[in-house]
Structure 1
Amino acid sequence: MNKFLSYLSTFIFCMIIWVGLTIPFGTGMASGVIIQELIVGAVVAAVMAIFCHRFFIKKSPFWLINPSRILSFIVFIFIFFVELLKSNIDVAIRALSPKVKVKPGIVKIKTPVESDYGLAMLANCITLTPGTITMEIEKGKNENYMYIHWIDVQERDRGKTSEIIKGSFEPWVRRIFK
């Protein structure tokens, strides 16, 4: 793999994230402020790329720039926000109800996701939705498991538990990181 292409792809990725997080679109900011943001963003992205490109890029430098992956990621964002809203409502109802109905516990779920990035994304999605926290990822030769603290253990069967917790996240994570 070409070291320069690895650096360049990491720089582009960091710059896109910087622009997405710092440039307010449609607010009528002065062009001087936007140019300053872009210059600072380029410096930060360059420094990040210098230190992180060898950790971020493992195979192909532009593996993420694939139309099907980008489209899958865009769809995934909407699915994630729907699941986030549903779990927020569920936890709010539990917190506001006079009788707290929770049965907390730690469950072990199985996932076919293989890539490190996919496992990290799935674990973070599970943790970011209220009511669940990913505690550990156990990588095996053919199978990967996650230990999840769940606010209300509804099922003891690992297969059913896995489907409830992973919900609609896992198929999309597999599409993005196949």
Structure 2
Amino acid sequence: MKKLYSILTTALFCMLFWIIFVLQDINLLKLDSQEVITGIIVSLIVAYFTHRSFIKEDPFWMLNFKRLGSLIAFIPIYAYELYKANWDVAKRALSPKLNINPGIVKIETEVESEYGLAMLANCITLTPGTITMDIVEEEGKNYMYIHWIDVAATEIKEASNTIKGAFEPWVRRIFK
């Protein structure tokens, strides 16, 4: 039964993306029944072959209103952090003296799920000035190796707090 729910949830996700892409080209109200049926069939076929990669545990994990609310609340927080990082990198790039101290630091994270680690790594990488190079598990803890444009701290705890900042608590809320 869990497999069926996993396939259906993945198919629903695929169908939603299909609708989003179709809306760009045509009016949703003018959809032909053949197009809708084809979209459903293709979504089910794709879901059948990909559901194991997409759904690991609970097929309805994102339908939890607390998680969905946390994801929506995270968007402006991420936008603000992105703005700050862009401003910092722009100041460094436009200053006459190139004020950088690049290096690779190891940070510790309390995020445990694969999706959460991927989201945290992407948040860090998409923020200018940092790139996530690797995620490793050592002695039951997760660590990330980050290339940082201006290494302000080399100790794991201090570097972790500076780099993952506001991201980690929100990612943990979303993927707990």
Report the TM-score, using the length of structure 2 for normalisation: 0.88
Separation (CA, whole Å) in 1 of partners of 2:8 and 2:28: 29
Equivalent residue for 2:129?
131
Residue 117 of structure 1 and its aligned partner are, at CA, apart by 0.6
Structure 2 distance, partners of 1:160, 1:139, is: 19
Q: Which moved more, 1:43-52 or 1:67-76?
A: 43-52
Q: How many angstroms does 1:142 deviate by?
A: 2.5
Aligned to 1:16: 16
Which of 158, 170, 173 in structure 2 is aligned with 1:160?
A: 158
> Quick check: 162-171 or 92-101, which moved more?
92-101
- Give unmatched runs, 5+ long, in structure 2: none
- The alpha-carbon deviation at position 85 of structure 1 amounts to 1.3
Counterpart of 1:102 (choices 100, 103, 113) is 100
Q: 1:35 to 1:107 in 2, by over 3 A?
A: farther
Provide the residue aligned with 1:142 in structure 2: 140
Partner of 1:60: 58
2:3 is aligned to: 3
Shift in alpha-carbon separation, 1:85–1:7, aligned structure 2, 3 A: same
Structure 1 stretch 76-85 or stretch 12-21: which is displaced more?
12-21
User: Is 1:88 matched with 2:86?
Assistant: yes
Counterparts of 2:110 and 2:38 in 1: how far apart (Å)?
40
Q: How far, CA to CA, are the matches of 1:162 and 1:9 in structure 2?
A: 35
Give the partner amino acid of 1:7: I
Rate the CA distance shift 1:160–1:36 in 2: closer, same or farther, 3 A: farther
The 8 Å contact of residues 22 and 37 in structure 1, kept in 2 or not, is answered as no
Q: Corresponding residue for 2:119?
A: 121
> How high is the TM-score relative to the length of structure 1?
0.87
RMSD: 2.5
Q: Percent identity?
A: 56
In the TM superposition, residue 102 of structure 1 has moved relative to its aligned partner by 0.4
- Note the residue ranges of structure 1 that are not aligned, 5 or more in a row: none
The answer (yes or no) to whether the contact 1:84–1:129 under 8 Å persists in 2 is: yes
Deviation (angstroms), 1:157: 1.9
Q: Among residues 42, 49, 52, which one is paired with 1:51 in the alignment?
A: 49
